Chain A
Amino acid sequence: MIPDESAGSSLIVRVTCRIVARLIQIFALYVIFHGHYSPGGGFQGGALLATAIILLRLGEGLRRSRREFNPEWAMPLGAVGVLIYAGVGMADLLAGGNFLQYEYTPLPEMNAAQMHYWGILIVEIGVGLAVMSVLVAIFDRLLEGQNDD
């Protein structure tokens, strides 16, 4: 549970990185879901999530933070984010409306403004996922092969 001193970074750095990364992740989820009521949204929250994971990579090294976010899964997760966005558009197209016309999304029935609300929320989640995955993937690729710790 308590990290040992035999690794590269000092003990204070590693414990602080763990605590601060969790706080950044909570704040990032807050920024994504409050994009309707305050400045924020998908892009900003995605960049904050990527910052939390990169902080863990810098503090702990690749070998230990591999369990947190596997570098193999970064690009597929980015593709899932783009597919969520395009999937909402295709669902609207198949349900009878135009591409990305949120009144025709297959959700429980409510008035037009509420359908736009939920459509925007799903789209922002997809964008945040894509931005986070691509930023972490670029970081891992640029630092591949360097000895960690």
Chain B
Amino acid sequence: MIELIDDYYAYWFCFLLLTIGLYGVIVKRNLVKKVIGLSIFQSAIILFFIIAAYKDDSTVPILDPRIEVTNADAYINPLPHTLMLTAIVVGVATLGVAFALLIRIYGKYATLDEDTLMERMK
């Protein structure tokens, strides 16, 4: 049992963050809180990839002159880190567009509450 927790606690923490983000999107009624929940969800997915790239007793993927490069087990996998750099920047751009849309919604309907908004849109 202790080995099970020791092997997978990082993944369980990542899925806890996923659940918190999903809670923010589903349960909260304010639109800004939904956007914040979306941002938490995104950070949890990025964390999942970074956790998957780890190797035991390995160092960062910057070539150390003291370690020969034929020993590829001394460095962690660089590919998920590269993909997540792209994902972070795309997330920031998406949040910018989301807030622009929220400003327009507030300017037209004078509310950011989900139920009041659905009433006023009829």
The answer on direct contact between A and B (beta carbons under 8 Å) is yes
* Chain B at the A interface: SS class: helix
- Tell me whether A134 and B93 are in contact (CB under 8 A): yes
Segment at the B interface, from A13-21, A37-45, A67-75, A113-121: A37-45
Chain B residue total in the interface (Cβ 8 A): 11
C-alpha gap A102/B62 in the complex (Å): 22
Of all chain A residues, the one with the shortest Cβ separation from B62 is A38
Contact between chains at B62 and A39 (CB < 8 Å): yes
Contact B103 A142 (CB under 8 A): yes
In angstroms, Cα B85 to Cα A38, docked, is: 15
Main secondary structure of the interface of A (DSSP, over half): helix
Question: Hey, which chain B residues are within 8 Å of A134, CB to CB?
Answer: 93
B99 adjacent to A142 (CB under 8 Å): yes
Q: Judge if B51 is at the interface, Cβ distance under 8 Å.
A: no
Interface membership of B89, Cβ < 8 A? yes
Find chain B residues with CB under 8 A from A135 CB. 92, 96
Question: Can you pick out 5 interface pairs between chain A and chain B where the beta carbons lie within 8 Å of each other?
Answer: A39-B62, A43-B85, A43-B89, A131-B89, A138-B93
Tell me the A residues contacting B by CB distance below 8 Å: 37-39, 41, 43, 47, 131, 134-135, 138, 141-142
